[in-house]
Amino acid sequence: MAITNPAITEKPGHTKYPTLFTPLDTGRVHLKNRAVMGSMHTGLESEENGFERLAIYYAERARGGVGMIITGGIAPNRSGGIGSKLSEPEDVARHRLITEAVHAADPLVKICMQILHAGPLARGNPVGPSPIKSRIAKEVPRELDESEIEEQLDDFAQCANLAKEAGYDGVEIISSAGYLLSTFLVEKTNRRTDKWGGSFENRMRFPVEVMRRIRKAVGDDFIVIFRVPAMDMLQGGLSWEEVVMLTKAVEAEGATIINCHFTWHESQVPTIATMVPRAAFTSVTERLRKEITLPIIASNRINMPEVAEEVLSQGKADLVAMARPMLADAELVNKAAEGRTDEINTCIACNQACLDHTFSGKPTSCLVNPRACHETLLNYEPTRAPKSIAVVGAGPAGLAYATVAAERGHDVTLFDAASEIGGQFNLAKRIPGKEEFSETIRYFARMIEVLGIDLRLNTKATAATLKDENFDEVIVATGIAPRIPDIEGIDHPKVVAYIDVITGRKPVGKTVAIIGAGGIGFDVAEFVTHSGPSAALNIDVFAKEWGIDFENHPRGGVTGVEPVVEAADRTVYLMQRKPTAMGRSLGRTTGWTHRITLKRRGVHMLRGVEYQKIDDDGLHAIIEGEARVLDVDTVIVCAGQESLRTLYDDLENEGVNVSLVGGAYEAVELDAKRAIDQASRMAAKV
Ligand code: FAD
Ligand code: NAP
Ligand code: SF4
């Protein structure tokens, strides 16, 4: 085959992902490939030097090969805010920092600013079409009168104009998620009787008018992406016919690209969590694509180039948006282009450092990549004084330390007593719905090869052997040991450790008590109540479990569809001593999915439990003041963990230069986010 443009066609990855790397050229817009970095709130705008940090963050993604970037939402005025606004000429300069940095990184990359008016979800002074409070908002929004609606429309047009002045290539208008535009669309939040409410023509008038005014303000050449609520997951939400009507109307008003959004924030169907199958919603995008002529973007759980290629090559979309995957790996697209897919640090859809942070008011980052949104603060510079370093333990902490230290030029030897790397992630990946966790292990396994780390598996490191090898530094990342609670009868044969249950080493009976309802207690409850294929791997199971009808698309995709949950034939009690609500320690944006699932499977959640003893009759406990005997076959202990640090103490006694990291450093409130973050920061300095 003749190579016409070596810069593009010679890269081996292009033959693997030909559609992903086909430029998009519609006459109105040219993109160098089909990969879009989707909009994501970072919280950086409110940090010191926030726009400088944003500029570097986006520029890094532009250099990483993406075709187009859509920024996090920027409000068109004060009433729309959840972050920053662009409403006055003096706001332009700081946005120019971003556009200049991105265009300097790669002049071919387009950057569009998302205009987000949060409406009833705005902080401070929320407004909406009608005074109806969202389930997740604190305040009832104030109803906009007709003149205020006109002012809002002017503000959208002004915001787009200023975005153009700031050097953006376009804007995205978000008309979904429960933000202002979408609340005009559905009867649930729009009870108006004037021309902005009532029939669907009237309800869609405001979003369509926003599109029209923006196009008028910015002229024909500016990209305007319109994000439609392709499936809003609301009982009584938009019908399919209404979704199509809206999309055609904004197409007629001059939109350049259609983007699809799924769900409102208040809806109780997961759309991006790790138990959602990859590319779960692309059948909806495909249907909408057939109704219009504009290019359409697919989104949600597209986290690897092969998923993107499949969506594109099957004609389900013209472009794919990857938002969180660009946090996890800024180089994702380049790695795909260069045939280095196995070096991609995959987004595992845990939400722990991105959305959970956003919803807690903390700056965004990424569990698998602590540099995300911290590009100016955390860098892995080459070392000027290479050392020989032993890292003991190849769990998330040890892996992060070893790879960062080796990347910087240190000579690293990595020990693990087990036959495989991954530590507790080897347990996590076996929980139905957490299959993505194996991607992190695959990534680290490849980086160990790429970086030439001396990996020694099946090797229990001791102070004596380590001392003999004379390493300059030893890093103890030996993790944790499960806590054995002091309960009479804890050594009874019906008591088993969670590790033995998850690995299948010990059988589990029909009636089960789980001691401890932290993250692991919930995961174990999922494990023992699960039946059939994992929803994360099977779209039909996922649709059934969450009550979604992808084919008939009733209003919102969910109206009148009852979730059908198949559970293992077991009676399960999940217990904690605290009197507080169960599952408080779970992720802010995902905990509810676990609580709902276990409830639907009939798991008995018991709090305020005082354990007394375990014997042949079962588990004796006082539960909310009442003495009970739970006649269970199996008691699974998930009572937290304790640091495993004997090796550290031994090495210190031997006078070896030794440090602790991860669970070995501190088991309380340990999770992989903290383990990887701490290890990466330590290794950045060694
Ligand atoms: P570990 O992962 O425990 O790794 C320690 C390693 O050290 C092990 O591989 C062990 O074999 C090795 N080792 C110990 N002693 C020696 C020795 N002397 N010589 C050589 N090797 C040794 N966290 C999250 O953030 N999100 C989740 O969703 C999540 N889900 C989980 C689900 C389950 C079922 C489990 C069990 C854990 C989950 N976690 C989750 C917790 C997360 O896995 C841990 O916080 C993380 O693994 C801690 O990392 P670590 O490297 O400190 O320790
Ligand atoms: P954990 O979250 O600390 O929970 C421990 C549980 O055991 C609690 O329910 C605690 O509740 C109970 N407990 C503590 N001491 C006890 C004792 N002496 N006797 C009886 N019960 C006791 O720890 P974990 O569940 O082992 O999880 C470990 C880490 O992995 C956590 O930090 C967690 O964040 C992380 N993880 C995260 C996820 C996730 O989805 N994000 C999933 C799995 C694991 P009471 O004290 O009220 O009884
Ligand atoms: Fe993905 Fe988790 Fe990182 Fe968020 S924190 S980007 S969900 S891996």
CA 463 to each of CA 396, 406, 661: distance values in angstroms, whole numbers, following the listed order: 22, 22, 17
Tell me the ligand closest to 348's alpha carbon. 3
Q: Is residue 551 part of a domain?
A: no
CATH assignment of the domain containing 392: 3.40.50.720
pTM of the predicted model, to two decimals?
Answer: 0.96
Looking at the fold, whether 492 and 469 belong to one and the same domain comes out as no
Distance 482 CA to ligand 2 centre (A): 10
> Is the pLDDT confidence value at 150 over 80?
yes
pLDDT at position 9 is: 40
Looking at the fold, whether 470 and 604 belong to one and the same domain comes out as no
Q: Is residue 68 part of a domain?
A: yes
Tell me the ligand closest to 485's alpha carbon. 2
> Is the pLDDT confidence value at 76 over 70?
yes
Continuous segment of H or E residues that includes residue 289: helix 282-289
Asked whether 331 and 325 are in contact (CB, 8 A), the reply is no
Secondary structure of residue 264 in the 3-state scheme: strand
The finding on whether 423 has its CB within 6 A of some atom of ligand 1 is yes
Q: Is 179 a catalytic residue?
A: yes
Asked whether 348 and 329 are in contact (CB, 8 A), the reply is no
Distance 268 CA to ligand 2 centre (A): 25
Secondary structure of residue 487 in the 3-state scheme: coil
For residue 6, name the pLDDT band (cuts at 50, 70, 90).
very low
Q: Is residue 172 part of a domain?
A: yes
CATH assignment of the domain containing 524: 3.50.50.60
Secondary structure of residue 494 in the 3-state scheme: coil
Looking at the fold, whether 460 and 491 belong to one and the same domain comes out as no
Q: Is residue 555 part of a domain?
A: no
How much is the average pLDDT of 657-678?
A: 97
pLDDT at position 123 is: 85
Distance 517 CA to ligand 2 centre (A): 6
Q: How far apart are CA 506 and CA 536, in angstroms?
A: 25
Looking at the fold, whether 161 and 215 belong to one and the same domain comes out as yes
200-212 per-position pLDDT tens digit: 999 999 999 999 9
CATH assignment of the domain containing 163: 3.20.20.70
Looking at the fold, whether 164 and 192 belong to one and the same domain comes out as yes
Q: Is residue 547 part of a domain?
A: no
pLDDT at position 460 is: 97
Q: How far apart are CA 191 and CA 202, in angstroms?
A: 11
**Tokens for 115?**
């205009």
371-412 per-position pLDDT tens digit: 999 999 999 999 999 999 999 999 999 999 999 999 999 999
pLDDT at position 14 is: 63
458-493 per-position pLDDT tens digit: 999 999 999 999 999 999 999 999 999 999 999 999
> Is the pLDDT confidence value at 89 over 50?
yes
Looking at the fold, whether 519 and 663 belong to one and the same domain comes out as no
Index of the ligand 2 atom closest to the CA of residue 594: 40
Residue tagged 């031997």 (tokens): 654
- 448-455: long-range contacts, CB 8 A cutoff, minimum separation 24: 448/399, 448/402, 448/403, 448/414, 448/421, 450/343, 451/403, 451/406, 451/407, 451/412, 452/406, 453/402, 453/403, 453/406, 453/412, 453/413, 453/414, 454/412, 454/413, 454/414, 455/394, 455/414, 455/416, 455/421
Q: Is residue 545 part of a domain?
A: no
* Phi, psi at 574, each rounded to 5°: -110, 125
Asked whether 259 and 299 are in contact (CB, 8 A), the reply is yes
In this structure, what DSSP letter does residue 567 have?
A: B
> Is the pLDDT confidence value at 434 over 70?
yes
The finding on whether 521 has its CB within 6 A of some atom of ligand 2 is yes
Looking at the fold, whether 399 and 412 belong to one and the same domain comes out as yes
Looking at the fold, whether 81 and 139 belong to one and the same domain comes out as yes
Residue type, 476: V
pLDDT at position 484 is: 96
Q: How far apart are CA 506 and CA 528, in angstroms?
A: 12
265-298 per-position pLDDT tens digit: 999 999 999 999 999 999 999 999 999 999 999 9
Q: Which of 354, 578, 671, 678 to mutate to test the pocket of ligand 2 (most atoms within 8 A of CB)?
A: 671
Q: Which of 478, 526, 585, 660 to mutate to test the pocket of ligand 1 (most atoms within 8 A of CB)?
A: 478
Looking at the fold, whether 612 and 671 belong to one and the same domain comes out as no
Residue tagged 């280095």 (tokens): 340
Q: Is residue 370 part of a domain?
A: no
Report the DSSP pairing between strands 618-623 and 609-615. antiparallel
Looking at the fold, whether 419 and 316 belong to one and the same domain comes out as no
Q: Is residue 120 part of a domain?
A: yes
Q: Which range marks the domain in which residue 230 is found? A: 6-341
Number of structural domains found in the chain: 3
Quote the distance between the C-alpha of residue 535 and its chain's center.
17
Looking at the fold, whether 680 and 609 belong to one and the same domain comes out as no
Q: How many CB atoms lie within 10 A of CB 376?
A: 14
* Single residue among 639, 656, 676 that ends a domain in this structure: 639
- Ligand 3, pocket residues at CB < 6 Å: 324, 327-328, 347-354, 366-368
Looking at the fold, whether 155 and 302 belong to one and the same domain comes out as yes
* Single residue among 285, 320, 341 that ends a domain in this structure: 341
**Tokens for 540?**
């039909």
